[in-house]
Amino acid sequence: MDISAAADEPGSRLPNLYGRDTDSLMAVLGPLAPRPFHAAQIYHWMHGRQETDFHAMTDLPAGLRRDLSLRFRVAWPRVREVRQSTDGSRKYVLALDDGGEIESVYMVHGRRITLCLSSQIGCPLACSFCLTGTMGLVRDLSPGEIVGQVAVLARDVGFAPGRCRIVFMGMGEPLNNYAAVMKAFRILVDPRGFGLPPRRVTLSTAGLVPGIERLGREAPRPRLAVSLAATQDALRGELMPINRKYGLESLMAACRSFPLGTREKLTFEYLLLDGKNDTPQDAARMARLLRGVRAKVNLIPYNEAGVPGFRAPDGERAGRFRDALLARGIPASIRWSKGRDIGAACGQLVRAPAATARG
């Protein structure tokens, strides 16, 4: 399949089966494929083998393949633009059927491949340091649009989808699109789907407490990462308006009760803003906040190509903050973001409003 094909190609308006589970396939195919194992076969071809051509699904009856090709399609998002970073990262602008656009990021650390996926077009949470938040929410993504990002990047770069790690840290708040994200997650970790171990998938949230509590009841589930950005409610509410609804006390209570595996830790992401949240007092407060939580901290110096008005601390100041946490027994590391030179780093993913409304 040509993943750069235009949205108005013949057949592009046929219903798209990609991203459906077997139960959903059985329901939509109806009398066309009444036997349950046909739905299971189609599911495996689409997600496990990444096949988009019904005629290539050779264990299906020839008549069924013909009928499927006339009534349905299997389609991924289309690559509209690729930007290559000097650090090996790539940022993808992907076009969706309705003309909307999202951004996804391919990152490589030695032999480890990580894909940063979007879950929404835009984001409703309006964090003051995040370019995505300036878009507002355009719409949620479907499960097929979410897992399709993995299929597209794997095909373009040339790696097996089951080899990578996934982080839901792109455009959108994953817990705000809970049902679709979890359907996508189940396809990603299904042995007949992408076959990823659940531990290789991480979901990052700005702190939607009901979503965190709900996620803790899932089995399997992705690993959880929580964005903090501040250690006091007043500042966090200024930086992250969601804190006005779910303050630090309720957020940390949800984190303390979140069930963890034997060797699992919660990840806390802390954006370092020069002179704003990077003082020794902030480090001491963070250590107190994390008391009783099996946690590790990723310190992320601000990407100055993002929203104007914020600055990143220099390496020495960031190092002192990390060392203050380590001295208090909190595992912490500094994560200098990949793809800063191509607008692919944390908080830099954004599409112009006009680019999300075509079609």
What CA–CA distance (Å, rounded) separates 172 from 118? 6
Confidence class for position 9, pLDDT limits 50, 70, 90: low
103, 145, 173, 269: the catalytic one is 103
**Looking at residue 111, what is its pLDDT?**
87
Fold of 1-75: DNA polymerase; domain 1 (1.10.150)
Across 108-112, average pLDDT: 89
On whether the pTM is more than 0.75, the answer is: yes
At 327 the three-state DSSP class reads helix
How far apart CA 305 and CA 77 sit, in angstroms, is: 27
Active site residue 346: yes
pLDDT digits (tens, 9 = 90+) for 219-238: 999 999 999 999 999 999 99
Closest among 105, 111, 109, 114 to 84, alpha carbons compared: 105
Q: Which residue has the higher pLDDT, 161 or 27?
A: 27
What percent of the chain is predicted at pLDDT more than 90? Answer: 81
Handedness of CA 215, 217, 220, 225 (dihedral sign): positive
For domain 78-356, give its CATH number from 1.10.357.10, 1.10.3720.10, 3.30.70.330, 3.20.20.70.
Answer: 3.20.20.70
What is d(CA 113, CA 179) in angstroms, rounded to the nearest whole number?
26
Residue from 123, 127, 130, 346 carrying the catalytic annotation: 346
User: Which residue type does 14 have?
Assistant: L
Q: Is the model more confident about 189 or about 86?
A: 189
Residue carrying structure tokens 């112009």: 352
How do strand 137-140 and strand 120-122 relate by DSSP bridges? antiparallel
Domain ranges of the chain: 1-75, 78-356
Token pair for 154? 């794997």
| Cα–Cα distances in angstroms (integers) from residue 331 to residues 12, 175, 320, 326, in the given order | 50, 26, 14, 6
Tokens of 86: 């000097």
The pLDDT score that the predictor gives to residue 31 is 87
* pLDDT tens per residue, range 245-290: 999 999 999 999 999 999 999 999 999 999 999 999 999 999 999 9
Rounded average pLDDT over 193-210:
97
Q: In the chain, where does DSSP find H-type helix?
A: 22-29, 36-43, 62-71, 143-157, 178-189, 209-215, 233-239, 248-256, 280-289, 315-327
Q: Is 103 a catalytic residue?
A: yes
Higher pLDDT, 163 or 42: 42
Taking residues 94-120, report their average pLDDT: 95
Spatial CA neighbour of 276 closest among 311, 241, 242, 306:
311
Minimum mean pLDDT range among 84-98, 220-234, 338-352: 338-352
pLDDT band at 28 (very low <50, low <70, confident <90, very high): very high
